[in-house]
A and B are shown apart, each in its own frame.
Chain A
Amino acid sequence: MDILRFITAGSVDDGKSTLIGRLLYDSKSIMIDQLEAIEKQTRNKLAGEIDLALLTDGLRAEREQGITIDVAYKYFSTNKRKFIIADAPGHIQYTRNMVTGASNTDLAIILIDARNGVVEQTRRHSIITSLLKIPKVVVAVNKMDLVDYSEDIYNNIVIDYQKVATSLGIKEITFIPLSALNGDNIVEKSERLSWYDGDSLLTFLENVETHQSVNLDIARFPVQYVIRPQTEHLHDYRGYAGKIISGIYRKGDQVIIQPSGTTSTVEKIELGGKEVEVAVAPQSIVLHLADDVDVSRGDIIVPAGQPCKTAQELDVLLCWMDSKKLQTGNKYILQINSKTVRCAVKHIAYRLDVNTLQKDEQVSTAALNDIVRATIKTAAPLPHDAYETLRSNGGAILIDETSCVTVGACMIQ
């Protein structure tokens, strides 16, 4: 049994909350007391059936306004998998939330209302999905009940969406016609959609190969913490604690510590206090080196023949997440895994319109929810990988030094 993390992109109007509610409800992940609570609210709203959307609208502020203001996480499991849903709102002002929710997911479900087909919002969600390099996409054509379960309408949407996907380079797409409200094709295959020969949504999610975003070809180990008991008994113990974010480490591997460039050999690997010969991503381990070298938090230990790129000038796609605008020239802190370095945004090449992919070059700043192509200068050389090659070592955040808030997400090109 493994874990599948996915994001659902769509607005309340597409029936996104209903879809999640339906998945939880039909997979028997909703408990009686939770159902009673939403039944009570449904009655308050004078609606008819149970409003499954209420299951995901967490905060009072949201319920009062009937919107979702932030990313919520939901959990359910079947015999095959544990699922973690990042539920991100789809309104235009929430690019920031979708980027956040999408950052560590293996799969995106993009909802389309069968009555409306591919709309501006569908493009926006797809663009963000492609920028964040989410490996798999499911296009859920929802509300099929409102178009009389029409195969023609569905087929036209598939053709329209494929054009969008081709222009964005999204390759692994699965289309599923469904009705979240009635439960068609959610858990069981629906007879009303008998012309569709694929799996139900849940069956697909249970079986889809995700690669787990684990790349065994490139090995990366950022050091988080140095364990030095300094007791009489363990006087010489010096272990580098961290999580392997990619690849595989073996005892005896020749390694380089970046950014210093010092070389050494893996002398010992500990996993949960036990010595092991081999460790793989995403295991958290303690690594010991054969030589007495200088290693501290923020350094990255990599195979000798496979160093990270190192640069002081980074070309990034930057999603701005703060209500205060980006100030070029201002100092920010850039954090990539456990490494922080001061930096400044030197230059903005263009702003990307997330609805059309058009590039506006007449910009000098970035506002909340903008995505810009920018050049960042760091105070010291920064080991990294291209986001396209390795998401886990190519994504970084920008922190405002004065407010301490996370203001931007960078995908290093």
Chain B
Amino acid sequence: METYSLDYLDQLESEAIHIFREVAGQFERPALLFSGGKDSICLVHLALKAFRPGKFPFPLVHIDTGHNFPEALVFRDRLAEQLGEKLIVRKVEDTIKAKGLTEPKGKFASRNALQTYTLLDTIEEFEFDACIGGARRDEEKARAKERIFSVRDEFGQWDPKLQRPELWNIYNGKIHKGENVRVFPISNWTELDVWNYIKRENIALPNIYFSHEREVICHQGQLVAVSDFIQLEESDTVLKKTVRYRTVGDMTCTAAVESTASHIDDIINEIIATKTSERGETRIDDKVSEAAMEDRKKNGYF
């Protein structure tokens, strides 16, 4: 038997494209959840490879917490326009008003948990049966156990004990009405894989991923950008630092890292050398409890 081996990035890319096409083939009303972060930007790039010269068989959907980095929003709008693909934006702000939800309080009042409400409402509004997301299994322990096609009940809940077995490369997308499937095409990618792919494919990113000067405060060792969304206290010292973002979430729960990496090669070198995990270094929301992600996922979070 003659054998042959593809480069690992080619293998990961092909697997992701295959998953995208399974979504297109199996679902009536899929959506691609797009945040303007690097993982979802990679998803868009993979979708282009999966479906061009045709149109995407799904809209891009952004659940806007109102606490986003302005740079990510500009990037989002420009990308959707360039591609000529439909972008649907639903705002957490509107859900809070319409449903009389209580805004979280405190210094870093994060709407991260409230996003779930808006997401579930949006799924209901458009009757989405599949939502494609950029979550990766290397990010977090609870994610490591999740399937590529992850079924959620009508309340958006994930039950880790009742997951469907996923064998070979066969994806079972059969669901009952009201249920939906979260699909993760880059499940098997690591942070470094994503960056190496961005480099290889020359994918454009919002400039906050590269080093820049920013006013920050230091909170428990993490650098949080000064913005309208966080409440400064008298004891806080505003510092000017050269930073970049390793992940891009809400301004209230994403920390910057000190870095002078202005080119993708520098970033890749820093990631190879780093001793802290992506979420550990940059996410304030995962530290709330040991099982923070597990709990949020069970409630319908991505």
Contacts and interface: CB of A to CB of B under 8 A. Distances in A.
A245 B22 CA distance: 14
A195 to B, nearest CB: 34
A283 B175 CA distance: 29
A212 B5 contact: yes
Contact of A397 (B145, B172, B277): B172
Nearest to A273: B52
A1 B49 CA distance: 22
A229 B281 contact: no
A85 B144 CA distance: 11
B274 interface: yes
23 contacts: A3-B8, A31-B280, A58-B294, A59-B142, A69-B160, A70-B145, A73-B187, A75-B137, A77-B192, A214-B4, A216-B4, A217-B2, A224-B21, A243-B169, A272-B13, A272-B49, A280-B4, A283-B6, A335-B172, A336-B170, A337-B170, A406-B172, A409-B167
A73 B51 CA distance: 28
B198 interface: no
Scoring A75, A242, A392 by chain B CB atoms within 10 A of each residue's CB, the highest score goes to A75
Nearest to B148: A73
A267 to B, nearest CB: 16
Interface size band for B: 35 or more
Interface string B246-284: 000000000000000000000000000011110011000
B176 interface: yes
Contacts of B176: 404
B10 interface: yes
Nearest to A44: B290
Given A212-B3, A227-B53, A399-B172, A284 B14 contact: yes
Interface of B: 1-8, 10-15, 17-18, 21-22, 24-25, 48-55, 137-138, 141-142, 144-145, 160-161, 163-170, 172, 174-176, 187-188, 190, 192-193, 274-277, 280-281, 290-291, 294
B164 A241 contact: no
Contact of B1 (A70, A100, A215): A215
B21 A242 contact: yes
A333 B174 CA distance: 10
Given A59-B291, A69-B160, A70-B163, 5 more contacts: A33-B277, A60-B294, A72-B144, A237-B53, A282-B15
A348 B256 CA distance: 60
A243 B14 contact: yes
A284 B18 contact: yes
B167 to A, nearest CB: 4
Nearest to B3: A211
A203 interface: no
A162 to B, nearest CB: 25
Interface in A278-333: 280-284, 297, 321, 333
Q: Number of contact residues on A: which range applies?
A: 35 or more
Given A69-B161, A338-B25, A227 B280 contact: no
A104 interface: yes
A41 interface: yes
Contacts of B141: 58-59
A31 B168 contact: no
A75 B186 CA distance: 13
A392 B168 contact: yes
B277 A31 contact: yes
Which of B165, B169, B174, B290 neighbours the largest number of chain A CB atoms within 10 Å of its CB? B165
A34 interface: yes
Interface in A79-105: 81-82, 84, 96-97, 99-100, 103-104
Given A72-B145, A297-B25, A406 B168 contact: no
Nearest to A58: B141
Contacts of B138: 74-75
Nearest to B144: A72
Contacts of B172: 335, 397, 399, 404-406
Contacts of B188: 73, 75, 84
Contacts of A245: 169
Contact of A59 (B11, B12, B160, B165): B160
Contact of A404 (B1, B18, B175): B175
Nearest to A321: B165
- Which 6 A-B pairs have CB atoms at the shortest separation, nearest pair first? A33-B280, A284-B17, A58-B141, A31-B277, A404-B174, A224-B21
Contacts of A70: 145, 160-161, 163
A395 B25 contact: no
A338 B22 contact: yes
